[in-house]
Amino acid sequence: MHLAVTNLSDSGKLLLMVEGLLAFAVVIALILGIATLVERRGGRRVAWLFVLPTLFLLLVGLIYPTLKTIQRSLYDAGGQQFIGVDNYLSIFASSEQLVVLRNTFLWVVVTPFVATAVGLVYAILVDGARGEAFAKSLIFLPMAISFVGASIIWKFVYEYRQASAPQIGLLNQVLVWFGQEPQQFLIKSPMNTFFLIVVMIWIQAGFAMTILSASIKAIPSEITEAARLDGVSAMQMFRFVTLPSIRPSVVVVLTTIAIGCLKVFDIIRTMTGGSFDTSVVANEFYSQSFSAGNPGLGAALAVLLFVLVIPIVIYNIRQMRASEGQ
Amino acid sequence: MGITTTRRIKVASAAAAGLALVLTGCSSGGSSGSSSASSSADCSAYSQYGDLSGKTVTVYAGIVAPEDAAYIESFKPFEQCTGAKVDYTADKNFETQILVQAQSGNAPDLAIVPQPGLLKQLVATKAAKAAPAAVAANVDKWWGADWKSYGTVDGTFYAAPSGASVKSLVWYNPQKFKEAGYTVPTTLDEMAALTKKIADSGQVPWCAGISSGEATGWPITDWMEDFMLRIGGPKVYDQWVNHDIAFNSAVPTEALDGVGAYLKNPAYVNAGFGGVESIATTTFQDAGLGIPTGDCSMMRMASFYSSNFPTDGSVTVSKDGNAFAFYLPGQKADDHPVLGGGEFYLAFADRPEVQAFQTFLSTDTWANLKAKASSSITKGGWITANKGLDIANLVNPIDQLSAGILQDPNTVFRFDGSDMMPAAVGSDSFWKQSTNWITGQSTKDTLDKIEASWPKS
């Protein structure tokens, strides 16, 4: 297909594109036409007709690539030789790949809880306070910055210069003010992974805060007033009233950030490029597929990522249903 | 997706071609008087190519503006004398596009291929044509056997070399060297002695930086290749690149330890940046900025580094200026191994006009035309290993030095090895493990891990 297109002249390609668009329009018109015809009889059949285009797109854009990727992961680097599960074995056997798995584990375990905790504490603290909107927008601002932008900002924060030279990194300048030696934050594994995680928390805490704050405001005032009449302390109020009331939102926030962490790529790519043992599954998948020339192993990593994400997605959807049901 | 990408690339290349046409238009308009006068005088040298009026030769390359203008300019005498038209197109996606074009059967007449690995892939598509005898004869005459072998695939000679670059250089500050009474070393032992002398005087002699995004670590791979060439010699170097000897065998271990004697010695690095580990986080662009200021005495880096110096007039790149380079010496003063890169002209057609143009490109005439064009249009930045190149045609002192190194009869030229290794090594594990090596991993672990990553088949 690709090669065939390359052979065409420019005008030929334009024609092909117009034809494609026309064919698409005809198909849609046909579906809509049939739908209006059948509509009089109503019911499930009409629904199925409307679902058809979505199903088709899912098939082409999701199911087919997934199957292809799974198939590719069972072949060697050149794509010629069937090697069974060897690619998967090498993920769990080579020391390099085990470091990648360890880092991904750290990301998924640490980031959601810390980001959610920070967001939750902040939401409770500013709830009903003066200047709440302004305080909230402050912590929400990093959400507006792209991952790459945030990574560049933090790369400068961690920047190192030798003790005798003027520091250009904020964190090292602070260390120097306190009479400490400047540090190379991004080199020492596994601490460097935590320094990268800070960037993600910085971005995601605002997201957690927004959702949780809205959820706190939705707690019926009868409940909180009743609790106050019973004489609860602030701690008890949080433990027995606020937290149970917003539990579904907390879970949704936790799982959403966890999925984001499984897929994290931009931060690693921009700040270390995967050097110094900071690579994670998504970054390694890219490196193996597109720089190391081993698309087989890359596909296996992609499938692994897919398998890891599925349970969290299912749990997330269930919780969303539960919170909608409330 | 396939359609849109191809279209976008087409549009981009069309725009590049358009720009090229504008550039040709401008320069021919500006100098039409002089060039028509000179063309009548010079044309005798072109009579061997015959009358090619009405014929067109298409050239495709990855060399885009502003460097493309010098190529187009250098083709003009051929066009004027033979009547043929040379149609030059370039885009930055050359390396992927040329493969697609060759496989689908609409390759250009000539492609400027930037590395032997890609040359092999292109020959494997069976679309490439072997070079005519006249080109082979020119290459025998003007280049060494080392260069010819890089244009040869499975015993058939395909492609004549075009431009070249030299990587075995050490940047230094000639003014500071003169003040301190240091002399440029001519053997590796002298370089070690000089390094010790500078360190003893209380200065940190070397600076280095390997941070380069995803490619972090590559400057160390260049260091190691240079030491492989010097310690093992060209033969062992070739065996190492082709994996005929293991990556963790004796000579590579000795070579990497040789690099470590400089880069992992806290007394020798990293001038202006901190300790050994700061090499890992310093970008290679920043690393040598201390040379003109005198903070750093030496940095091993290819000729293209000169473009990183500030252009505010504070840096003079010349033999008596505050920044220049010397040849990274061999074991003995007569040993002259050179690590570098270069481009090749690969033909996909054997029509007479294409072969005539190919022959013209392999002559000393074209090499000098191109050198003059680059000197006047981009202030240099282009050299070739063609021994017929007159160094007087180069304006940039670093170009003159590099061309001199390439023309030295003792020079043995070798391509950057990591470019020729499989991608899993050359653009992944070699970089990554070199980075781990500089942050503390032992030489043995480093080489063992790279050896383990070499693809089995």
Peptide bond into B66 cis (omega under 30): yes
3-state helix, strand, coil in chain B (%, to 5): 55, 15, 35
The class that CATH gives domain B2-166+340-414 is: alpha beta
* pLDDT for A326: 57
B13, pLDDT greater than 80: no
Which two structure tokens, joined as six digits, stand for A47?
């629904």
Q: Which of B10, B104, B274 lies nearest to residue A10, judging by beta carbons? A: B10
Contact A96 B6 (CB under 8 A): no
Cα B452 to Cα A97: distance, rounded to the nearest angstrom: 13
Low-confidence ranges of chain A (pLDDT < 50): 1-7
Q: Which residue of A has its CA nearest to B450?
A: A96
| Cβ within 8 Å, pair A292-B216 | no
Residue A35 tokens, joined: 């739908």
pLDDT of residue B363: 94
pLDDT of res. B399? 92
Residue pLDDT, tens place only, B180-201:
999 999 999 999 999 999 999 9
Whether B323 contacts B169, CB under 8 Å: no
State the complex-level ipTM: 0.76
| Contact assessment for residue B113 and residue B80, using Cβ atoms and an 8 Å cutoff | no
Q: Is the CB of B455 less than 8 angstroms away from the CB of A77?
A: yes
| Nearest of B61, B58, B57, B55 to residue B16 by alpha carbon | B61
- In the predicted structure, residue B10 carries a pLDDT above the cut 60: no
Cα separation, A120 vs A257, in Å, equals 14
pLDDT at B415 over 60: yes
Rounded distance, CA B415 to CA B417, Å?
6
Average pLDDT over residues B410-415: 91
Among residues B431, B430, B435, B437, which one has the least CA distance to residue B451? B430
Is there a shared CATH topology between the B2-166+340-414 domain and the B169-338+416-453 domain? yes
User: What's the pLDDT band for B423 if we cut at 50, 70, 90?
Assistant: confident
Q: Which residue has the higher pLDDT, B20 or B282?
A: B282
Please tell me what DSSP assigns to residue B368: H
Cα separation of A235 and B193, whole Å? 71
Substitution target from A275, A286, A291 for chain B, most B beta carbons within 10 A: A275
Amino acid sitting at position B67:
E
The alpha-carbon gap from B448 to the nearest alpha carbon of chain A, in Å, equals 12
- The token pair that represents B159 in the structure block: 């492609």
Interface size A-B, in CB pairs within 8 Å, comes to 95
Q: What is the pLDDT of residues B124-164, one digit of tens each?
A: 888 999 999 999 999 999 998 889 999 999 999 999 999 99
- Segment holding B157, helix H or strand E: strand B156-157
Q: Considering Cα of A299, then A302, then A307, then A313, what sign does the dihedral take?
A: negative
pLDDT at A131: 86
At residue B38, the pLDDT reads 44
Q: Using CB atoms within 10 A of its CB, is residue B398 exposed (0-12), middle (13-18) or buried (19+)?
A: buried
- Look at strands B152-153 and B160-166 and give their pairing: unpaired
- Cross-chain residue pair B100–A276, CB shorter than 8 Å: no
Contact flag A294-B217 (C-beta cutoff 8 Å): no
User: Which pTM value belongs to this model?
Assistant: 0.79
The Cα A90–Cα A93 span in angstroms is 5
* B152 within 8 A of B161, measured Cβ to Cβ: no
pLDDT (average), residues B251-266: 95
Mean pLDDT of all residues in B202-226: 91
Q: How far apart are CA B206 and CA B296, in angstroms?
A: 6
Lowest average pLDDT, out of A245-249, B32-36, B115-119, B327-331, goes to B32-36
Among residues B95, B62, B117, which one has the least CA distance to residue B417? Answer: B117
Min distance B431 CA to chain A CA atoms (Å): 9
A250: which 2 tokens? Answer: 């907390």
Residue type, B39: S
pLDDT of B37 above 60: no
- Mean of pLDDT over chain B: 87
Place of tokens 């008596």: B320
Asked if residue B212 has pLDDT above 70, the reply is yes
Give tens-digit pLDDT for B79-109: 999 999 999 999 888 887 898 898 888 899 9
Enumerate the residues of chain A whose CB falls inside 8 A of the CB of residue B209. none
Confidence of residue B9 (pLDDT cuts 50, 70, 90): very low
Ordered by start, the domain boundaries in chain B are 2-166+340-414, 169-338+416-453
pLDDT reported for residue A39? 65
Query: If DSSP codes are grouped into helix, strand and coil, which group holds residue B107?
Result: coil
Nearest to B369 by CA among B49, B136, B45: B45
Q: Using CB atoms, which residue from A7, A76, A78 is nearest to B106?
A: A7
Residue A274 DSSP class: T
Overall size of chain A counted in residues:
326
Q: Which amino acid is at B375?
A: S
Please state at what angle helix B116-124 crosses helix B94-104, rounded to 10 degrees: 20
Q: CA-CA distances (angstroms) from residue B429 to B25, B56, B278, B421? A: 47, 45, 21, 11
- What pLDDT is stored for residue A27 in this prediction? 86
Asked if residues B370 and B382 have their Cβ atoms less than 8 Å apart, the reply is yes
The structure tokens listed for A248 are 């579904």
Q: Is the pLDDT of residue B219 over 90?
A: yes
- Check B280 against A187: CB less than 8 A apart: yes
Q: Is the pLDDT of residue B297 over 60?
A: yes
pLDDT confidence band for B401 (50 / 70 / 90): very high
Contact B214 A274 (CB under 8 A): yes
Q: Is B2 on the interface with A (CB under 8 A)?
A: yes
Structural Rg of chain B based on CA atoms: 23
Most confident of A188-192, A239-243, B117-121, B260-264: B260-264
The residue count for chain B: 457
Query: Which option is the CATH number for B169-338+416-453: 3.40.1280.10, 3.40.190.10, 3.40.470.10, 1.20.1250.20?
Result: 3.40.190.10
CA distance B328 to B300: 8
Q: Which of B391, B9, B429 is nearest to B220 (CA)?
A: B429
What's the mean pLDDT in B382-392?
Answer: 92
Q: What is the pLDDT of residue B353?
A: 94
**CA contacts within 13 A on the Cβ side of B409:** 0
Q: How many of the other CB atoms lie within 10 Å of CB of A108?
A: 22
Rg (CA), chain A: 26
The reported pLDDT for the residue numbered A325 is 66
pLDDT for the residue numbered A78: 75
Put simply, the chain B residues between 94 and 153 with a CB less than 8 A from any chain A CB are 100-101, 103-106
The percentage of residues in chain B with a pLDDT greater than 90, rounded to a whole number, is: 63
**The one-letter amino acid at B339:** L
Q: Which of A106, A75, A57, A139 is nearest to A258 (CA)?
A: A106
DSSP string, A177-213: HTTPPP--TTTSTTHHHHHHHHHHHHHHHHHHHHHHH
What's the pLDDT score for residue A40?
65
Of B104, B424, B439, the CB nearest to A7: B104
Q: What is the pLDDT of residues A175-204, one digit of tens each?
A: 999 988 888 898 888 899 999 999 999 999
Q: Do B281 and A160 touch (CB under 8 A)?
A: yes
> Which residue, among B333, B285, B62, B1, has the nearest Cα to B185 in the 3D structure?
B333
Cα–Cα distance, B116 to B153 (Å, whole number):
9
Long-range contacts of B273-279 (CB under 8 A, 24+ apart): B273/A161, B273/A162, B273/A165, B273/B207, B273/B209, B274/A160, B274/A161, B274/A162, B274/A163, B275/A162, B276/B438, B277/A184, B277/A187, B277/B438, B277/B439, B277/B440, B278/A160, B278/A162, B278/A184, B279/B208, B279/B209, B279/B210, B279/B438
